[in-house]
Amino acid sequence: MELSSGIVAIMIGVSTFLGLIGLFGLLWGLKTGQFDDEKKFLDGVRNDGVDALRDAANQEQKKKDAMKKHREKNYGPPD
């Protein structure tokens, strides 16, 4: 089965057109600040204190302990 050159030309044209639409959309988003999230960045810096880091470390340790207990009790389907 062979594709005619007309069909290939149409496919190339459509894919180029769609690519240009995507490129213009990306450039528009960059120009209008659609990807800027200064509030999230500033909130992250503002709330990143010693207490927040300690709380995150405690939560991670609790999660590890719970997984360890779960594995030690050998929960699972019977054989």
Q: What is the pLDDT of residues 49-63, one digit of tens each?
A: 777 778 878 888 999
The count of structural domains within the chain is 2
Same domain, 42 and 13: no
Pair (31, 57) in one structural domain: no
pLDDT in tens, 25-40: 999 999 998 877 777 6
What pTM was estimated for this model as a whole?
0.45
Same domain, 48 and 15: no
- Same domain, residue pair 7 and 22: yes
Structural domain for 23, as ranges: 1-36
Alpha carbon 5 to chain centroid distance? 40
CA distance 19 to 12: 10
Q: How many whole angstroms separate alpha carbon 79 and alpha carbon 67?
A: 22
DSSP secondary structure code for residue 2 in this structure: -
Q: Is residue 26 located within the same domain as residue 43?
A: no
